[in-house]
Chain A
Amino acid sequence: MVDVQFRFRDDEAVNDSAVTVDAFTEQTNATAVRIEPGDDARALLPFLDRLRLIEVNFPAWTDGRGYSSARVLREAGFTGEIRAVGDVVIDMLSHLKRCGFDAFAPDKPLNPADAQAAFERWDNVYQATADGRQPIWALRHQS
């Protein structure tokens, strides 16, 4: 298994091994699942309360379906760990985090200084997403 390089959670690390979405829907006691780009994240919605970890795989960083998967899960109220695995590169990090990822396990470990700069790059953001940050339009209209 690939190591988690960055994690933004205070709870205990989850080491349960993740099963595929197909296996998961049949195997009712698994607590971790891995979503591939072609899987429908919504298939997991009825089971969120017993999941601790959802891995979202990026076989190639240019395939952006995983961003939508993570947001769908967060929008449905999932509070467990969402971990980006696979071809995770520096310039994706802040966007992944904005979409609800809170753990990162890149195939190739990233330069920690570059990664930190990437996570901290944007002081403000234009959109409301799953990360709960106040978008610029909300800051503009605060009374």
Chain B
Amino acid sequence: MYKYDSYDQQMVDTRVAEFRDQVRRRLSGELTEEQFRPLRLQNGLYLQLHAYMLRVAVPYGTLNSAQMTVLGDIADKYDRGYGHFTTRQNIQYNWIKLEDTPDILADLAKVEMHAIQTSGNCIRNISSDQYAGAAADEVVDPRPYAELLRQWSSFHPEFLTLPRKFKIAVIASETDRAAMRLHDIGIKMVRNPAGEIGAQFYAGGGMGRTPMIGPMIREFVPLDQLITYSEACLRVYNRYGRRDNKYKARIKILVHELGKDEYTRQVEEEFAHLLGQGIEPPLAELERIKQYFVDPAFEAGASDELDLSDPDFRLWVERNTHAHKQAGYVIANVSLKPVGGIPGDASADQIRLMAQLAKDYSFDELRVTHAQNIVFPHVKKADLYTLWKALDEAGLGIANLDTLGDIIACPGLDYCSLANARSIPVAQKISERFGSAEKQAEIGELKLKISGCINACGHHHAGHIGILGVDKKGVENYQLLLGGCEGADTSLGKITGPGFDENGIVDAVEKATEVYLSNKQDGERFLDTYRRIGMDPFKEAIYG
């Protein structure tokens, strides 16, 4: 994984010093809250319902154990003993004190981490495939390109006051595990007919109140033009994105209003101009970055044998592991969704334990996934049982990946000041009702995603089943959506009809699963059945 050199370290240290100074000016009254707010936001410090919240960036979701250990330590030292892993592959702390934040950022900087641009109308943390560098189906490891983009986008002087936030995802396989087309810019690394690697660009995707799937705007950008092309996309957006209405300010609206062809034309024109400006790092820089992402020292000829005599382990292997590109190895997912638990939350002890286990069994590496889980990317099959045992003892061994137990939920009204309704209690009720091994075996893959308001932090548009919290005259109410999907065949869910109260929505989910079970044909997942039979049978069962 990437290692800072003295330049990178200096950038982050400088930022800590800058923020320390800003906090000092705020506490002394030199800065008003109005002046300070945008500054704290650019350092990931929000005000939530109960306290300050700090969002720490996990660039493209990759961590080493030293970093993970510090994340655990921060939870103990400055928070209340836990953190929340988010759909943007970051971690949030809910009980941060303003006076502590410069010290927290300094602790993070010591392990090459930061909270830079995790909020505000700038280019945010870049997300990627959690299986990068490990999956058999990738064309190339997407992370070096994400790192190149991370450096380019950090403190980019032209793009710190964009019309609205800007999220980029980079993937490199046909199977999209990062919801790439639901980002402001999605980049898919591809190989062209001549065998060269390049970047395919998608623009104008997003969720929020007007969800849109980003169209492709360029089939192939050569590697030595990647930054220049990105800069062109951003400049057109910065100049022409709407600033009259915050709800229409995302790039998806610009692309939609101009039309994909006109936006593309403007980008190409800007791109042609920028090619002459010498803003592209040399390919040698990409090569320098790439050397940090070479494969770890896999053991050649490691055995593919697994002793599956323990039935619980067997289930976990079936549900939570994924094929590795290296024989004798496997990708293991830790579900942060115990039955009745809070999706994405992990205690300081759990975080540190995962750090230690990654050191012992996964070449010092972990990943955070957009489904709010943790991945051990490189586990030798011979170690898998020992790893699982250790996880299971700490309540981290549950086998429910991509099933109804593995719910994505935003913090909702329990923590978030923008929320209309609570998300977590709904997730808990659903996981209690459908979390048993039998139910999961029966229902199979079913991705359920909950947001506490229209902002869609919980990806409800992209859930096979989505739930959206709304405010009905001061009372929490929940709408049901069906048919969303964030994968390569991205689709947006449709609302079934009138909303429900908390128990009603759990019943409605149950009815939806019943319709699926009585209609499914061989091998169909919930989503497949929905796509085949359409909304009507579900509506009938739910409201009829």
Contacts and interface: CB of A to CB of B under 8 A. Distances in A.
Interface of A: 37, 40, 61-65, 67-68, 71, 75, 89, 91, 94-96, 98-99, 117, 121-129, 135-141
Interface size of B as a range: 35 or more
B543 interface: no
Contacts of A135: 281
B161 interface: yes
Given A65-B243, A122-B11, 15 more contacts: A63-B243, A65-B239, A67-B159, A67-B160, A67-B161, A68-B238, A68-B239, A122-B155, A124-B11, A126-B152, A126-B155, A127-B156, A135-B281, A136-B11, A137-B282
Contacts, number: 93
B210 interface: no
Interface string B15-26: 000100110000
Contacts of B35: 89
B279 interface: yes
B113 interface: no
A116 to B, nearest CB: 13
A12 to B, nearest CB: 28
B39 interface: yes
Contacts of B10: 123-124
B406 to A, nearest CB: 37
A123 B6 CA distance: 12
Q: What are the nearest 8 A-B pairs in CB distance?
A: A64-B161, A95-B157, A98-B157, A137-B281, A128-B279, A67-B158, A136-B7, A137-B285
A67 B151 contact: no
Nearest to B276: A75
A72 B22 CA distance: 31
Give the most central of B151, B152, B238, B273: most A CB within 10 Å.
Answer: B238
15 contacts: A61-B161, A64-B160, A64-B238, A67-B161, A91-B22, A121-B14, A122-B14, A123-B14, A124-B11, A126-B11, A126-B156, A136-B7, A137-B151, A140-B7, A141-B284
SS class, residues of chain A in contact with chain B:
loop
B196 interface: no
B154 interface: yes
Contacts of B11: 122, 124, 126, 136
B235 interface: yes
Contacts of B39: 91
B440 interface: no
Interface string B154-182: 11111111100000000000000000000
Give the most central of A37, A40, A67, A89: most B CB within 10 Å.
Answer: A67
B151 A136 contact: yes
Contacts of B81: none
